[in-house]
Amino acid sequence: MIGSPVSGRTAGHLDEHASQLSISGDWLLDHYPQLEQQIQLKLNQGTSAIYSAEQVNVDALGELDTAGASLLLDYLGPATLARIAEHSPGLSAEKSALIQAVIEAMADRHPPEPETLSSIRRFLTDTGRQVEALARLLWLLLGFIGQILAALVWITLRPLRWRFTPFVAALQETGLNALPIVALLTFLVGAVVAFLGATVLQDFGVTIYTVDLVAFSFLREFGVLLAAILLAGRTASAFTAQIGSMKVNEELDALRTLGLDPIDLLVVPRVLAMMVSLPILSFVGMIAGMAGGALVCALALDISLAQFLAIVEQDITVRHFYVGMSKAPVFAFLIAAIGCLEGFKVSGSAQSVGTHTTSSVVQSIFTVILLDALGALFFMEMGW
């Protein structure tokens, strides 16, 4: 504080003359109620932030402390007050330093006014920010994948470090518990695909090819894709919520204090369990989807189960099954990695857990669909 408050001193005052503002008197904590009332009155009149630094005269300014400087900051704004502190000859070096310190301390309360941008510049700015956020997200994901691969190699070389109990628990959660919903969903989708295919192919008199449509689509695409999307919504969110809750409760810090690596303990078992569960669920989804299609063919097209299986054996080669199953481990690895990474990104609040849980589901589903589309184009170009 510059100068000690002493009773009897004149309270600070703002005098406006035309386009000039004169700041006089003592701006001290002793006079804070009067000064605050005066500043609030000016703010209510809408006369703040209309003066430039050259229009403000501080030659009559008396004593000043942090309370008075904060009120001047509220009235004049950080930019104008900073220029006054730097260039006004009526201020002593001590008062200038005090004003600068108050401006820096209250920077969060007085963020810089955003620059007025045109619609085109605003669009380009927002686009750039989104691209930057996406690049940062990809960079973090690649780094996290590197950590997982390094941990997998380290554990593989040390069989005594394998953690079978967390692996089995994660396998039950991601595989066994998800089996009924995957089978039911793919069965219903298979029936819908067969019904729609039969409706369209009936106009051409080739409803027999409904069998090929169902088998081809589920072996190559729908079996693994539907299972992966279900796990992305069901399991990735669970991984994020579990690890995020542990971080909020500081359990991750406790693990590190005990010399345990959270990647080895929490991430690797979940990743391995997903890479085992998703191929099995994909296979179940393929069978259930074709079963739904076979049911529709039997009821609506008079194609018996034996005839359905004979057509599949004759027309559908095993490479379509291999193409579909080859996607499952990749999808499983990425879903588990994204779910665990979002869990580690949780901050110390319940709202953050919910936000990152939602983010993990969106990212996982988007990644699965994007990679499936790229994989379909690749296999098509390769003739597989």
Place of tokens 């989708």: 189
pLDDT tens by residue, 209-268:
888 889 989 998 899 999 999 999 888 888 898 888 888 888 888 888 888 888 888 888
Give residue 137's identity as a one-letter amino acid code: L
Q: Would you identify the CATH topology of the domain 13-105?
A: Transcription Regulator spoIIAA (3.30.750)
At 364, give phi and psi (nearest 5°).
-65, -50
In angstroms, the CA 48 to CA 40 distance is 10
Q: Report which of 315, 325, 290, 306 is spatially closest to residue 197, judged by C-alpha positions.
A: 290
Retrieve residue 201's tokens: 């192919």
Q: Report which of 263, 278, 261, 251 is spatially closest to residue 364, judged by C-alpha positions.
A: 278
pLDDT tens by residue, 335-379:
999 999 988 888 877 788 888 888 889 999 999 999 999 988 888
CA distances from 137 to 338, 345, 350 (A): 10, 11, 22
pLDDT tens track of the chain, all 384 residues?
A: 444 444 446 777 777 776 777 777 877 877 778 877 777 777 766 555 566 667 777 777 778 888 877 877 777 777 777 787 777 777 778 888 888 888 787 766 555 555 555 678 888 888 888 888 888 888 988 998 998 898 888 888 887 778 888 888 888 888 888 899 999 999 999 999 998 888 888 888 888 888 888 998 999 889 999 999 999 988 888 889 888 888 888 888 888 888 888 888 888 899 999 999 999 999 999 999 999 999 988 888 888 888 888 988 888 888 889 998 999 999 999 999 999 998 888 887 778 888 888 888 999 999 999 999 998 888 888 877
Q: Calculate the CA 97 to chain-centre distance.
A: 42
Retrieve residue 251's tokens: 């359990």
Alpha helices in the chain (DSSP H): 32-44, 66-76, 78-87, 93-105, 119-156, 164-171, 179-201, 210-217, 223-231, 237-248, 251-257, 262, 268-300, 305-315, 319-344, 350-382
Beta 13-17 vs 56-57: how paired, if at all? unpaired
Beta partners for 24? 13
Q: Residue ranges of the domains in the chain?
A: 13-105, 141-382
Q: Please, are residues 144 and 262 in contact by the beta-carbon 8 Å criterion?
A: no
